Amino acid sequence: MTDQVISPFLGDHDHQQCQTEAIDTAVAECEKQGLKLTKTRRQVLEIIWSQHHPIGAYDVLQKLQQAGHKPAPPTAYRALEFLVHARLIHRIESLNAYIGCPAPSNSHQCQFLICSVCGHIAELNKESISQALQEGAAELGFEARQPVIEIHGVCHSCLSQE
């Protein structure tokens, strides 16, 4: 894996293209893994990809209902679980929310940069950071299984507005 940054913080972000590519990637990834992307799962994925802000399960359910569906809460939760398991979205633990994953075939040992002002999230995949965590854990006789780091701060755009 090479180091990679996936960020709405960087200028000239075309979110429509970003969203279209993410959905196309998700469809291809499901086909590759032999997973079924049902209508509800796809709708939940589209809701999550409608922005680069994290979204909670309750908000996903509300948006499904606004679209004319009457899903029970377990339906939304099952769809979110499927999408996390399929590596199509990430769960941001500190916010109890979800964000789309633009590179489901990449390692999910990543770092998230979360702007405390605008709420945008950038996904950082620095192999050196993941490797250092794995090595440090191994030195202590510990096997890290979900080494995800969430870093709260302020993005460049919000800093320049202060």
Domains of the chain, residue spans: 4-160
At residue 9 the predicted structure's pLDDT band, cuts being 50, 70 and 90, is low
At residue 7 the predicted structure's pLDDT band, cuts being 50, 70 and 90, is low
74 vs 159: CA distance, rounded Å:
40
77 vs 26: CA distance, rounded Å:
18
Closest to 117 (Cα-Cα) out of 160, 71, 55, 87: 160
Phi, psi dihedrals of residue 95, rounded to the nearest 5°: -110, -5
pLDDT at residue 4 is higher than 60: no
pLDDT in tens, 28-74: 999 999 999 999 999 999 999 998 789 999 999 999 988 877 778 88
Calculate mean pLDDT across residues 72-94. 92
pLDDT at residue 140 is higher than 80: yes
3-state secondary structure string, the chain? CCCEEECCCCCCCCHHHHHHHHHHHHHHHHHHHCCCCCHHHHHHHHHHHCCCCCECHHHHHHHHHHCCCCCCHHHHHHHHHHHHHCCCEEEEHHHCEEEECCCCCCCCCCEEEEECCCCCEEEEECHHHHHHHHHHHHHCCCCCCCCCEEEEECCHHHHHCC
Residue 1: predicted pLDDT: 43
Fold for the domain defined by 4-160: Arc Repressor Mutant, subunit A (1.10.10)
At residue 11 the predicted structure's pLDDT band, cuts being 50, 70 and 90, is low
Residue 125: predicted pLDDT: 83
pLDDT at residue 16 is higher than 70: yes
At residue 17 the predicted structure's pLDDT band, cuts being 50, 70 and 90, is confident
Residue 31: predicted pLDDT: 94
